[in-house]
Amino acid sequence: MCGIVGYVGDGEAARFLLEGLTRLEYRGYDSAGIAVYDGEKIRIEKSVGRLSELKKKIAGDMPKGVCGIGHTRWATHGRPSDTNSHPHADCAGDFVVAHNGIIENYMTLKEKLIEKGHRFVSETDTEVLPHLLEEVYDGDFESSVRKVVTMIEGSYSLVFMSRRDPGVLICTKQDNPLIIGLGSGENFIASDIPAIINHTRRTYIMSDGEIAVVKKDSVWVTNNQGEPVTKKVFEVNWNAEAAEKGGYEHFMLKEIHEQPKAVRATLSSRFAKDGSSVVFDELKWNVDFLKSIDRIFIVACGTAYHAGLVGKYYIEKMARIPVECDIASEFRYRSPIVDDRTLTIVVSQSGETIDTLAALKEAKRLGSRTLAVTNVVGSSIARDADQVVYTWAGPEIAVASTKAYTTQLIVMLLIAIYMAELKKSMPEARIRELIEGAKNIPAQISETLEDTEPIKTFAKRYGFNEDVFFIGRSLDYDVALEGALKLKEISYIHAEAYAAGELKHGTLALVKEGIPVIALATQRSVYEKTLSNIKEVKARDAIVIGIAEKGDEELSKYADHVIYVPEADELLIPLLAVVPLQLLAYYAALTRGCDVDKPRNLAKSVTVE
Ligand code: F6R
């Protein structure tokens, strides 16, 4: 995820900026840059790659000055490169901006600015910001920034610096974190607390829509109406390690809680203004393209494979194209029936998983068209595939994948709706219904995360069992597979997922008194069937923890405990049902004293076969 820092005081700005960015390195990034006002002009230095590259570049010739901004970039719009790195400047080099998040309407703004003669050098959405400021600047830095903010849509945290207003930084935010560190004779801006923790522990936490004018000895905050806001000082009492995790005990828990934001970001810019259809600027498919495809393969590993299973269900249900979902390490060696009428979709958070990359190459060799769904811009898989759709989950640090999974599900849903629209295989009213439902998902995930106490209790109570079964039908089965994988990999409990209807074909023999069975019963179309499978395990004295929709009054009659998730469309509910399973795995691992973020024998990115 991108990182922002800003400094204004009497000290050497560049020194703080580099140190602050170093402290944000844990968040992941692909390039870095700083801009410092030297009393005459703003000097910008940027470099793709690690911060050490930037440090090397300016060693012996550090930008001099007491006011500056810096940024580590995690690419979204445009590949990682020196040019695409932040800070970005206007035509005259008078204004610079560092930005986290996404400006959704940047294309329209960019076209208008180009018509007015502005020259753009990067592929980023961010670059519209300094040009907009250049366009509207009327001598009053604060009111000009305010004007810019009214013109943009999206999620962001922003810091602006102006050559015409020395010693002033202006920052604002919407749905992205931003803090101000209060020093004495100096002040700091950062997207995250670790960047400033060595300098001050007194902070203002910025709220959405607030604008702060930060000088070396004052910080003036107003709301989006321009009215002054009296901020309360938040004293940070975390150590540096806790600060990196945003106060959460582990990255995994932080990332579970980041899901509403990650899903919202992934949905952003992907709907038509009137909400009637899905827009994929990056695909621009038409009906002829879809007619030229007679089968789809979805190929991936681990959690991404589980997301692919849901994708198969979505595409077949909505677009009525046959889909096969395969594990990459199997696909690549089994002579799959692939030709130029095949579309192969590879799914990978890291974009570097060797089996998935090899499967992609194999599909291409056999003549398939290819599409990558990945979270890392410029990754090997993104570069190799014909087309790419990015999930915008931000970097995932915990080995166990959580927010990558939910964002992959959302992308799969959008792709399926997009195909159904082109093929006219689903009524328009149903498309609208699903789009409306998808827009609610971030808020509903937040709701699911509100009360984790019952999950902690179950994890404590059942955390030491050696075997756990997960059952479900239809999409519930796909989510059960992911729930079982989460539990296995971080708590080392033997967990298996079964299609509930399969139990009696063998596995039921293992079910005995006291065995926990996590039963997902969110799919209305197979609800009664699932219920009878739950009764089967209950009759063998298993302990059943059910996952159901709010309002379900039936399941509690047969299950020992029920965890409820908000009511949602049957197709969307996997995005909610997986959350308690992630939390159950997390708290079970805690109970067992496991290393949650770095489970034994596992690596975040599997780049060897
Ligand atoms: C499980 C997990 C792994 C990955 C798998 C694929 O929590 O993270 O199963 O999903 O190794 O990784 P990517 O998505 O990077 O290709």
Best of 350, 354, 594 for a ligand 1 pocket test (most atoms within 8 Å of beta carbon): 350
What is the predicted pLDDT for the residue at 367? Answer: 97
What confidence score (pLDDT) does residue 598 get?
86
Residue of 218 and 463 predicted with greater confidence = 218
Is residue 111 pLDDT above 90, yes or no? Answer: yes
Mean of the per-residue pLDDT values of the chain: 93
In which band, very low, low, confident or very high, does the pLDDT at 47 lie, cut at 50, 70 and 90?
very high
Q: Which among 450, 405, 404, 457 has a CA at the least distance from the CA of 587?
A: 457
User: Which comes out higher in pLDDT, residue 134 or 242?
Assistant: 134
- Answer yes or no: is the C-beta of 606 below 6 A from any ligand 1 atom: yes
Instruction: Print the SS3 string covering 345-382.
Output: EEEECCCCCHHHHHHHHHHHHCCCEEEEEECCCCCHHH
Nearest to 285 by CA among 375, 416, 106: 416
Query: How much is the pLDDT for 609?
Result: 64
Which pLDDT band holds residue 68 (cuts at 50, 70, 90)?
Answer: very high
Distance 292 CA to ligand 1 centre (A): 31
Q: Determine how β-strand 95-103 pairs with β-strand 154-162.
A: antiparallel
Residue range 251-448, CATH number: 3.40.50.10490
Residue 356, ligand 1, Cβ within 6 A: yes
Of 256, 303, 397, best ligand 1 pocket probe by most atoms within 8 Å of the beta carbon: 303
Phi, psi of 269 (to 5 degrees): 65, 10
Does the pLDDT value for residue 607 go beyond 70?
A: no
Task: Please report, rounded to a whole number, the percentage of residues in the chain having pLDDT higher than 90.
Answer: 82
The CATH fold assigned to 453-591 is Rossmann fold (3.40.50)
The response to whether residue 489 sits with its C-beta less than 6 Å from ligand 1 reads: yes
Q: Is 75 in the pocket of ligand 1 (CB under 6 A)?
A: no
Ligand 1: distance of its center to the CA of 105 in Å?
32
CA distance between the termini of the chain: 28
Structure-token pair, residue 215: 């000088």
pTM: 0.81
User: Residue 608: pLDDT above 70?
Assistant: no
Mean pLDDT of 589-604: 88
**Token pair recorded at residue 84:** 């695409």
Cα 73 to chain centroid, rounded? 15
Strands 202-205 and 179-182: antiparallel
Same topology, domains 251-448 and 453-591? Answer is yes
Integer Cα distance of 21 and 574 in angstroms: 37
Q: How confident is the model at residue 346 (pLDDT cuts 50, 70, 90)?
A: very high
C-alpha 603 chain-centroid distance: 19
Strand residue runs (E) in 267-407: 295-300, 323-327, 342-348, 369-374, 387-390
> What's the burial of 19, exposed, middle or buried (CB within 10 Å: 0-12/13-18/19+)?
middle
User: Which of left, alpha, beta for 320 (phi over 0: left; psi -120 to 50: alpha)?
Assistant: left
Q: Ligand 1 centroid vs 104 CA: distance in angstroms?
A: 29
Parallel, antiparallel, or unpaired for β 387-390 and 369-374? Answer: parallel
**What DSSP state is assigned to residue 279?**
-
Domain residue extents for the chain: 3-239, 251-448, 453-591
pLDDT band at 577 (very low <50, low <70, confident <90, very high): very high
CA distances (Å), origin 221, targets 129, 133, 187, 205: 21, 20, 14, 11
pLDDT band for position 1 (50/70/90)?
A: low
Q: How confident is the model at residue 434 (pLDDT cuts 50, 70, 90)?
A: very high
CB 302 less than 6 A from any atom of ligand 1: yes
C-alpha dihedral, 451 to 452 to 458 to 459, nearest 10°: 180
Tokens of 544: 């059943």
- CATH placement of domain 3-239: 3.60.20.10
Is residue 223 scored above 80 in pLDDT? yes
pLDDT tens readout for residues 286-300: 999 999 999 999 999
Annotated catalytic residues are: 2, 604
